[in-house]
């Protein structure tokens, strides 16, 4: 009996020593079976920032041509840009843009000698008005077709812009400048006719039922846009801030006289730094136009827009520059008061920063999409952009890696001239990468802060970016993740079950990668993995 008691005692001690220790480890909060504690993503749903107005693209000059192709070709192109429909597997058929930016033509195409070089034929535009004061609203038929299709697909916001007055209003009779000296290519005597023309075009579209949000008469006025006759590549004109202000004041009166609902948007700066710094007479434009002490102040005009536009070109030579320029833009607008916000209205991969020191031969189509997504993220998170648009929806491939830099849809006409009648096209990865934002982050959503303990601001842009958005009239949330690293990223949510839970504990997942274009899948909240070199949107409903 003693032996049995001794055996029982020894057995009990062994059980306590081994299984007791196991039990202690199991309740340790750092036990991996409980997940990694203290290192998860935190969704700060109550820390909200800007309200999103839109994601868009410019038809540029080239929707004029594709918009006149046969339906069999142009209809699928419109679907890619505007559709919110899905296929049988739930995959989006298009990227659901929420703003379309269309040009007010200047008539270079109407001239017997536009002064353009022959290879730039696709940038020549028609003008609704002729030199005799007659309007022909059948002009710009291709642009009008794309506007009509955008509206059919549910796009509710449109923005109009001009690069120059019509050729018959300019100082030199061309839609580009022919001198390196001076400013606006328009005599003061034509300021009034130019303002009347812009007001009439906006009113025409509004009478046709289009919601024209903004009209911009001055695009990238920091550049000279001069060329020899016969060598011009694009319309445009420099304009001094004083000239922009003078025309804007006249436009304000004309918009009121005609009852135009659209607002006048200035400036539309060629680079972000032109918005908030510089001593030239074309720079420091936020202060120039919205500081009451400025002689160029227009902030009190009835029809002025609170949207201040800049272009994100040449603002990304380093990670620090990318962040600094966006924060500086944001702060300058906040300091100006008046409820001004930032629209990024043109970006494509100009310059060489997108190469990140790599050989072009090493870059894949997905690398270009990841770079563009990095810029979108920076504009939204560091610049508080409320609107973001790509330049341009359509473009041709003419050299090197051009096919992946300047278009959402790559097109090839059946003849390299204005006489072509049809063509072919293919979507670029940039299209679907933009769709990771535009298709799901809808107008009226607000951005909320997301804390990622694995990355500070600098390393996030280099490796892994995440931004969050929530609806103000429903419980929908959207997370956009950009994984630029060579490794997948498993997501855990630090405050899940404390600050939020999602319906069915499941995200809908939309992935753009080398092999996928917004392909839909699902994932439990505790089993989310963002593949290497991918852009992934997660959507869910908060319970």
The model's pTM is 0.93
- d(CA 242, CA 198) in angstroms, rounded, equals 19
Predicted local distance difference test score (pLDDT) of residue 398? 78
Predicted local distance difference test score (pLDDT) of residue 136? 98
Strand, helix or coil at 453?
Answer: coil
Query: How far apart, in Å, are the Cα atoms of 3 and each of 6, 7, 11, 12, 163?
Result: 5, 6, 12, 14, 101
CB 189 within 8 A of CB 246: no
Residues 230 and 364 in one domain: yes
- d(CA 424, CA 59) in angstroms, rounded, equals 17
Residues 29 and 61 in one domain: no
- d(CA 206, CA 203) in angstroms, rounded, equals 5
Omega before residue 210 within 30° of 0, cis:
no
Predicted local distance difference test score (pLDDT) of residue 220? 98
Q: Split the chain (543 residues) into runs of 10 and give each run's mean pLDDT.
A: 44 41 39 45 98 98 97 98 98 98 98 97 98 98 98 98 98 97 97 98 98 98 98 98 98 98 98 98 98 98 98 97 98 97 98 96 97 98 98 91 96 96 97 98 98 95 98 97 97 97 98 98 98 98 97
- d(CA 441, CA 255) in angstroms, rounded, equals 32
Residues 399 and 469 in one domain: no
Chain centroid to CA 49: 17
Predicted local distance difference test score (pLDDT) of residue 9? 44
CB 198 within 8 A of CB 215: yes
Residues 144 and 5 in one domain: no
Q: Which of 381, 415, 444 is the last residue of a domain?
A: 444
Query: How far apart, in Å, are the Cα atoms of 447 and each of 49, 101, 370, 467, 541?
Result: 5, 23, 21, 8, 16
DSSP E strands in 371-437: the ranges are 387-390, 394-395, 409-413, 423-427
Chain centroid to CA 322: 15
CB 518 within 8 A of CB 92: yes
Cβ neighbours around 49 below 10 Å, total: 17
Residues 389 and 530 in one domain: no
Tell me whether strands 534-541 and 307-311 are parallel, antiparallel or unpaired.
unpaired
Residues 169 and 214 in one domain: yes
Show Cβ contacts of residue 423 under 8 Å, excluding neighbours closer than 6 positions.
66, 69, 73, 411, 412, 413, 414
Residues 476 and 411 in one domain: no
Residues 25 and 138 in one domain: no
Predicted local distance difference test score (pLDDT) of residue 399? 82
Question: Length of the chain, please?
Answer: 543
Q: Is the dihedral of CA 222, 59, 95, 490 positive or negative?
A: negative
Task: Find the domain containing 464 and state its range.
Answer: 36-48+447-541
Residues 311 and 373 in one domain: yes
Cβ neighbours around 509 below 10 Å, total: 20
Tally of domains in the chain: 3
| Domain harbouring 267, CATH code | 3.20.20.80
Predicted local distance difference test score (pLDDT) of residue 39? 65
Show Cβ contacts of residue 453 under 8 Å, excluding neighbours closer than 6 positions.
38, 39, 40, 42
Residues 465 and 371 in one domain: no
Burial of 255 (0-12, 13-18, 19+ CB in 10 A): buried
| Domain harbouring 526, CATH code | 2.60.40.1180
**189 secondary structure, DSSP code:** G
Residues 147 and 162 in one domain: yes
Residues 9 and 70 in one domain: no
**52 secondary structure, DSSP code:** P
CB 89 within 8 A of CB 520: yes
């Amino acid at each position: 009996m003693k032996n049995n008691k001794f055996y029982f005692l020894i057995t009990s001690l062994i059980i306590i020593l081994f299984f007791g220790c196991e039990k202690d480890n199991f309740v340790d909060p750092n036990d991996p079976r409980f997940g990694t504690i203290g290192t998860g993503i935190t969704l700060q749903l109550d820390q909200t920032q800007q309200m999103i107005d839109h994601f868009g693209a410019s038809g540029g000059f080239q929707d004029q041509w594709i918009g006149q192709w046969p339906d069999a070709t142009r209809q699928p192109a419109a679907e890619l840009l505007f559709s919110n429909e899905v296929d049988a597997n739930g995959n989006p058929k298009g990227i659901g843009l929420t703003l379309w930016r269309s040009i007010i033509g200047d008539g270079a195409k109407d001239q017997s000698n536009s002064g353009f070089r022959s290879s730039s034929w696709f940038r020549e535009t028609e003008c609704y008005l002729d030199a005799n004061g007659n309007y022909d609203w059948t002009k710009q038929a291709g642009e009008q077709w794309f506007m009509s299709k955008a509206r059919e697909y549910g796009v509710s916001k449109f923005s109009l812009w001009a690069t120059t007055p019509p050729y018959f209003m300019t100082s030199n009779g061309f839609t580009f400048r022919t001198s390196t000296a001076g400013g606006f290519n328009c005599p003061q005597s034509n300021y009034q006719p130019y303002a009347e023309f812009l007001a009439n075009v906006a009113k025409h579209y509004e009478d046709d039922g289009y919601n024209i949000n903004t009209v911009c008469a001055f695009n990238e006025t920091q550049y000279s846009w001069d060329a020899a006759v016969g060598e011009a590549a694009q319309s445009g004109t420099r304009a001094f801030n004083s000239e922009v202000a003078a025309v804007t004041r006249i436009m304000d009166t004309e918009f009121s006289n005609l009852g135009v609902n659209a607002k006048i948007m200035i400036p539309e700066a060629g680079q972000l730094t032109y918005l908030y710094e510089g001593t030239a007479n074309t720079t420091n434009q936020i202060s120039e136009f919205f500081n009451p002490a400025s002689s160029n102040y227009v902030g009190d005009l009835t029809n002025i827009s609170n949207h201040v536009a800049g272009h994100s070109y040449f603002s990304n030579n380093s990670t620090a520059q990318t962040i600094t320029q966006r924060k500086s833009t944001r702060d300058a607008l906040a300091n100006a008061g008046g409820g001004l916000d930032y629209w990024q209205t043109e970006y494509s991969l100009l310059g060489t920063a997108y190469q990140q020191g790599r050989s072009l031969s090493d870059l894949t189509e997905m690398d270009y999409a990841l770079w563009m997504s990095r810029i979108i993220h920076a504009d939204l998170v560091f610049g508080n952009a409320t609107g973001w648009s790509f330049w341009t929806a359509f473009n041709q491939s003419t050299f090197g890696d051009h096919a992946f830099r300047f278009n959402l849809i790559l097109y090839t006409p059946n003849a390299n001239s204005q006489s072509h009648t049809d063509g072919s096209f293919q979507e670029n990865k940039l299209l679907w990468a933009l769709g990771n934002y535009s298709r799901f982050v809808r107008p009226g959503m607000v951005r909320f802060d997301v804390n990622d303990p694995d990355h500070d601001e600098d390393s996030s842009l280099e490796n892994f970016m995440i931004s969050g958005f929530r609806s103000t009239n429903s419980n929908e949330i959207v997370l956009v993740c950009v994984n630029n690293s060579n490794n997948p990223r498993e997501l855990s949510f630090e405050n899940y079950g404390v600050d939020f839970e999602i319906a069915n504990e499941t995200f809908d997942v939309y992935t753009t990668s080398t092999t996928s274009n917004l392909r839909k899948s699902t994932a439990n909240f505790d089993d989310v993995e963002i593949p290497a070199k991918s852009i992934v949107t997660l959507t869910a409903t908060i319970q």
